[in-house]
Amino acid sequence: MDINEIKLKWVSSETNKEANINLWDEKADYFGNYTIPSFENDNFLQLFKNENLIHKDFKILDVGCGGGKYTIALSKECKEIYGIDLSPKMIECANINKDKNNIKNVYFVCDDWHEIDIKKSSFYKSFDLVFASMTPAIQSASTFEKIMEASRKYCVLRCNLKRTDSIYDKIKKELNMNTKEKNSTFLYALNMIYLKGYLPKVFYEQKTWLYKETLEKAYNNYIKKAKTEIEIKKEDENKIKEILDNISKEGYIEEKINSTLATIIWSVES
């Protein structure tokens, strides 16, 4: 398979941009409320140090930064760091956390990575390190290629290799949505890196998350999440609500997510 074949096959699954923005706006309070991770307690950050990817004079870009957890965590290790996300509320939370911690070298941008023309923007070859961690901003050949277009030295992509969602998997099955393992990001990305002549390193990690929210909030979030993948009818919304009603406990929903993560690290320096 050559790069052109990958570009034809690896295309975005996003069907509704507005639903996608609304979904992440809804999750902003959850993802924006965090303790800043450290190099001692976070496996992902440890890779940055162990692989010598960060320096005090570096300019860094965090793609799909969300509430800015990793953007802020790396701010003390570089000259400047930028975070970009399409959710206005995520960026609002990121700026609140930035101000709360009195950080001056972090800059957050609200924009859609899918739509930016990197070669015509100020991002082109502007960063010593570009990374993307667990973000839907990277879900096609074109969005992935932009990481390399923005970087002049190092690139990092962290994505799901295998994932199970205790609730959302049931919803996808009920609505006849695609239930195949979504490991295409990892496989396509790895192939594109090799085909471009780079030699990546790959690291693996097992993670488990528990995500708890009120039943009313869960109705909105799971319906919006489904809308980012398929067209949803009223009867589909009712099916989602019925599933959530049946598994709720004392007015709350708790989802367990098990994931095998893969982190790909490579250099684009000539």
Q: Residue 183: its pLDDT value, please?
A: 63
Indicate whether 15 pLDDT > 70: no
**Cα 167 to Cα 20, 35, 172, 244, 253, distances in angstroms:** 19, 26, 9, 8, 9
Q: Domain span at residue 15?
A: 3-165+180-210+259-267
Q: Is 220 exposed, middle or buried (0-12, 13-18, 19+ CB in 10 A)?
A: middle
Is residue 245 in some structural domain?
Answer: no
Q: At 119, is the secondary structure helix, strand, or coil? A: helix
How many domains does the chain fold into? 1
Is residue 205 in some structural domain?
Answer: yes
Look up the CATH number of the domain holding residue 199.
Answer: 3.40.50.150
Other CB atoms within 10 Å distance of the CB of residue 269: 10
Is residue 194 in some structural domain?
Answer: yes
Q: Residue 181: its pLDDT value, please?
A: 47
Is residue 111 in some structural domain?
Answer: yes
Is residue 70 in some structural domain?
Answer: yes
Residue 193 to residue 202: CA distance in whole angstroms: 12
pLDDT in tens, 177-224: 875 545 689 999 999 999 999 999 999 999 999 989 999 999 999 998
Q: Residue 30: its pLDDT value, please?
A: 86
Is residue 206 in some structural domain?
Answer: yes
Is residue 97 in some structural domain?
Answer: yes
Q: Model pTM?
A: 0.91
* Predicted confidence band of residue 9 (pLDDT cuts 50, 70, 90): very high
Is residue 85 in some structural domain?
Answer: yes
Residue 63 to residue 72: CA distance in whole angstroms: 13
Could you tell me how far CA 194 lies from the centroid of its own chain? 22
